Structure 1
């Protein structure tokens, strides 16, 4: 076994999930993540945790969804599983990144709505998602398998404490701020962030961070006005979405278009009322992620990008007792913040041309 797989597993269990003896751990294993699952199981066993491994397959889900006829019942058994769990680990890495492309969008949306209670129970655990490098993911990224493995481990095996300290600077700015203004080609968007708490997403539940790799600072906008263009292509529910353009008024999407995947975007927005509003503003800061790969877990953390999520807001960003945007989806759309771009907080430019004000080369 590649030593980097063991290092990945150790980082996931120790730094990210902070697993303790006696923890009840549910681990979802995708078809291609077997080697990482073996390494994680060894780490969990060494720490005295209790493990239940489940099989997560997009091909299995496709078969089920295409055959099902009728209304979906709530996922009560799945919810009960998460209600009992202390930790949930998702090890991604399937055989086919577009396995569910021929499942009707309305079916996928209805299925998501039926599983909303189960999803909320999962979010109540110390949950962490990660990805094991597979040939299908390498192909989706347009990379050789060997190069893709190097890319993944460069993103995952980082000095997370040092990155957390750097990202803390942006967290302070956003915590104190009231308004964010994003300016770029095809983008002129103003976001209300007053009273919200930013998350320093340093790949550990200690930081309210649930992805490995991570490397972003995110918050939950209370409102949005203007337009934004997302120039990083992504795959949404098995369908390609490229150059999506959204127009917001009074916090909601009032117009949209896409060069490719307009039907997929329409299905997302039609999920429920909350799907037309923003649940997240995230700023990527992981410089180990150097290019898009069509895997949102990596792409949204790429330094020099901003992502906005349609749908559900995370409770960690909200004032006590306040309910944020609610939806059955949380779908990230990504735009590059490169030459000609600005990220402005309360009139002060914090990032220009992809560089923050504390970085060498920043031109205020």
Structure 2
């Protein structure tokens, strides 16, 4: 076993999920995440945690959804009971086909996503963390050799997370103190309110309200969105490629949209429910261990010199006590490159220009 697999497992268990003796842990592993699952199980055993391992497969999900009539149980008692008794939920991505569910009818996907709202809430009540094991399917999706992709993935995952958390805290403080954010770049001029919101310093640990490994972003829950934004970073959404999407917001809602490719899947998302037409997240990437696009949102949205916006659900960690943010059955991120001809303003003050924060020195350029 590559020693970095063991390092990945240790970071996940200790830094990210903060697992202790006696914790009830659900470990959901993809078919090609076997090595990482073995390493995580060993770490859990050494710490005296209680392990229940489950299997997660895009092919299994496809088979189930294509055979179903779409009338899904909205609160399956057996799954709810499992999550209610769990302290930690670890998701180890590692599928064999990144487009396994691409031919599932849109209305079935919508119904399934909506029916699982309460189950997602139960999972969010645990110390949940999602990560991926570098696989050949992910390497292929990123247009990289497997060995090259593995180096890339571990550069992003095995970071000095404490140091990065300290740097990201500077941006968090600016967002917490601000009331309005404006993003200006080619084909983009968007303004959102962040008044009263709390930004999350997403440093790959539940103690920071951060649930992805790798992470490396600062995000908040925007409101009162106005303007136009273009998403020029290629991505796959629900198994379908999306290229050069553009959205117009008025009174906080998407009123117009287009895309060179994948316009139908965007429309499908927007029709999920009322909250799907509003933003739930504004995120600013700060992980410079991620130096190229890979068509995987877990990595791409964290990359330095990018900003992402999510349609749908807002995270409670960004909201004042007692306030409900945007509610939706979906949370779909889309990314814009801000490495050139761009600026990010907080209350009229430029805090990032052409991908560099005002406290940064211009360093080496990332790989495209």
TM-score by length of 2: 0.97
Deviations 1:56-95 (A, max 9, x none): 0010000000011141112332222111100000000100
Query: Equivalences for 1:1-364 in 2 at 5 Å?
Result: 1-74=1-74, 75-361=76-362
* Structure 1 SS opposite 2:83: helix
Aligned with 1:246: secondary structure?
Answer: strand
Q: Distance in 2 between matches of 1:339 and 1:65?
A: 42
Task: Determine helix, strand or coil for the equivalent of 2:283.
Answer: strand
Q: Answer with 70-79 or 252-261: which moved more.
A: 70-79
Q: Note the C-alpha offset of 1:338.
A: 1.2
Q: 1:315 to 1:142 in 2, by over 3 A?
A: same
Residue ranges of structure 2 left out of the alignment (5+ in a row): 364-368
Runs (4+) of structure 1 exceeding 6 A deviation are none
In structure 2, how many angstroms separate the alpha carbons of the residues matched to 1:281 and 1:76? 34
Q: Distance in 1 between matches of 2:80 and 2:306?
A: 34
Confirm or deny: 8 A CA contact 1:76 1:118 kept in the other structure. Answer: no
Secondary structure (helix, strand or coil) at the match of 1:94 reads coil
Superposition deviation, residue 206 in structure 1: 0.6
The question of whether the paired residues in 1 share the 8 Å contact of 2:310 and 2:331 is answered with: yes
Secondary structure at the counterpart of residue 180 of structure 1: strand
Residue 128 of structure 2: SS of its match in structure 1?
strand
Mark the runs of 5 or more structure 1 residues left unpaired by the alignment: none
Please give the secondary structure, in 2, of the residue aligned with 1:26: strand
Q: Which moved more, 1:142-151 or 1:235-244?
A: 235-244
Q: State how far apart, in whole Å, the 2-side matches of 1:290 and 1:9 are.
A: 23
Aligned residues of 2:70 and 2:108 also touching (Cα < 8 A): no
Distance apart, 1:31 and its partner CA: 1.0
Query: How many angstroms does 1:361 deviate by?
Result: 3.6
Counterparts in 2 of 1:70 and 1:131: CA distance versus 1, 3 Å: closer
Q: Distance in 2 between matches of 1:103 and 1:76?
A: 25
Q: Give the corresponding residue for 2:366.
A: none
CA distance in 1, matches of 2:359, 2:70: 55
Alpha-carbon distance between aligned partners in 2 of 1:330 and 1:79, rounded to the nearest angstrom:
21
CA distance in 2, matches of 1:351, 1:241: 27
Separation of aligned partners in 2, 1:7 and 1:191: 39
Deviations 1:326-351 (Å, cap 9, x if unpaired)?
Answer: 00011100001111100000000000
Show CA shifts across 1:138-193 (max 9, x none): 00000000000000000000000000000000000000000000001111000100
Q: Residue 110 of structure 2 aligns to a residue in which SS?
A: helix
Distance 1:213 1:223 in 2: 30
Equivalent residues of 2:231, 2:335 under 8 A apart: yes
Question: Normalising by the residue count of structure 1, what TM-score does the alignment of the two structures yield?
Answer: 0.99
Question: Helix, strand or coil: the match of 1:288?
Answer: coil
Report the number of matched residues: 362
Q: Distance in 1 between matches of 2:289 and 2:252?
A: 33
Q: Is the 8 A contact 1:79 1:119 kept in 2?
A: no
1:252–1:50 distance in 2 versus 1, CA, 3 Å: same
Distance in 1 (CA, whole Å) between partners of 2:108 and 2:224 is 29
